[in-house]
Chains A and B, each alone.
Chain A
Amino acid sequence: KAGVTQTPRYLIKTRGQQVTLSCSPISGHRSVSWYQQTPGQGLQFLFEYFSETQRNKGNFPGRFSGRQFSNSRSEMNVSTLELGDSALYLCASSLASWAGGMDEQFFGPGTRLTVL
C-alpha cells in the first residue's frame, strides 16, 4: 500500500506570496491532519479534515486554510506569507472512521517551505 505523499517536497517563496501544498492520504484513509514543524515551536497541529469537513482546528491565524476533496486528498493554503511561516509542513492520514476512534496517524515526508 502506498504511503502518504506530499507535493512539492521543497518550496521557496517570498514574503506576501501565497502557497498551496498538497497531500494524498493512504488509500482508504478519510482523515487528513496537517502539522507545522519548526525548531522553535516544535510540532503544532494546524487542522484536520474528515469527509471533506474540517473536524478540528489548531491555533493558527486565518491565513492558514485547508480543504479536502471527495477522494480524501487535501490541500493546505497559506496566504500573505511571513518569514515565520518557514517550516516543514507535515500531512498525516488515518482511518479515524468515527470521532472516538484513536487510530494512529501515518505521516508523509513533508513539504519544506522557505520564505525569503
Chain B
Amino acid sequence: AQSVAQPEDQVNVAEGNPLTVKCTYSVSGNPYLFWYVQYPNRGLQFLLKYITGDNLVKGSYGFEAEFNKSQTSFHLKKPSALVSDSALYFCAVIHGSGNTGKLIFGQGTTLQVKP
C-alpha cells in the first residue's frame, strides 16, 4: 500500500538559517506529491506539488522541494527560515489517477523557528 513517512516529529531551526523538513514515500508507479502547512486552529494550506517534470519545485512563501526518485524522497526546504514559518507541515501523496481527491498524509512535522 502507498504510504508517506516524515521521520522527524519536530525540527528546530534558528531564524535566518536554512530549513529542511524530510519526507519519504512508498508507492508503486508514479507518485504525485504535495506539501501542506497547518497553523494552529486552522485548516491546511497548500504549499507546492510535484506531478512531473523538473525535480525542483518552487512553491508559496519561499518554500521549495526536491523530488528524488532514487531515494524516494520529497524534502521541503527554505533558504532562510522565518519565525512565522513555525507550524505543522504535512507531506502527502496521491497514487494513481483513479485516486484523485484521496490524499495519503504523513504524520506531520512540527517546525519551530526560534528568533
Q: In the bound complex, do residue B43 and residue A105 qualify as a contact, i.e. CB atoms below 8 Å apart?
A: no
Q: Given known contacts A42-B105, A102-B51, is B98 in contact with A107 (CB within 8 Å)?
A: no
Q: In the bound complex, do residue A101 and residue B44 qualify as a contact, i.e. CB atoms below 8 Å apart?
A: no
Residue of B nearest to A46 (CB): B102
Q: Count residues on chain B whose CB falls below 8 Å from chain A CBs.
A: 26
Contact with A along B78-92 (1 / 0, CB 8 A): 000000000000101
* A36 nearest CB across to chain B (Å): 11
- Chain B residues contacting A101 (CB-CB under 8 Å) are 100
- Bound-state Cα–Cα, A10 to B108, Å: 23
Q: Is the interface of A mostly helix, strand, loop or mixed?
A: strand
**Interface assignment of B104: CB less than 8 Å from any CB of chain A:** yes
Q: Of residues 88 to 116 in A, which have CB atoms within 8 Å of B's CB atoms? A: 90, 92, 94, 96, 98-102, 104-110
* B101 nearest CB across to chain A (Å): 4
- Chain A residues contacting B51 (CB-CB under 8 Å) are 102
Q: In the bound complex, do residue B43 and residue A102 qualify as a contact, i.e. CB atoms below 8 Å apart?
A: no
Q: In the bound complex, do residue A42 and residue B99 qualify as a contact, i.e. CB atoms below 8 Å apart?
A: no
Q: In the bound complex, do residue A50 and residue B101 qualify as a contact, i.e. CB atoms below 8 Å apart?
A: yes
Q: In the bound complex, do residue A4 and residue B43 qualify as a contact, i.e. CB atoms below 8 Å apart?
A: yes
Residue of B nearest to A50 (CB): B101
Q: In the bound complex, do residue A90 and residue B44 qualify as a contact, i.e. CB atoms below 8 Å apart?
A: yes
Q: In the bound complex, do residue A109 and residue B42 qualify as a contact, i.e. CB atoms below 8 Å apart?
A: yes
Q: Given known contacts A90-B43, A109-B43, is B49 in contact with A102 (CB within 8 Å)?
A: yes
Most chain-A CB neighbours within 10 Å: which of B46, B94, B104, B107? Answer: B46
**Interface assignment of A20: CB less than 8 Å from any CB of chain B:** no
- Bound-state Cα–Cα, A50 to B98, Å: 13
- 28 example contacts (A-B, Cβ-Cβ < 8 A) are as follows A33-B102, A35-B105, A42-B106, A42-B107, A42-B108, A43-B90, A43-B105, A43-B108, A44-B105, A45-B104, A48-B100, A50-B101, A56-B100, A56-B101, A56-B102, A92-B44, A92-B103, A96-B101, A98-B100, A99-B97, A99-B100, A100-B97, A102-B32, A104-B46, A105-B46, A106-B46, A107-B44, A109-B41
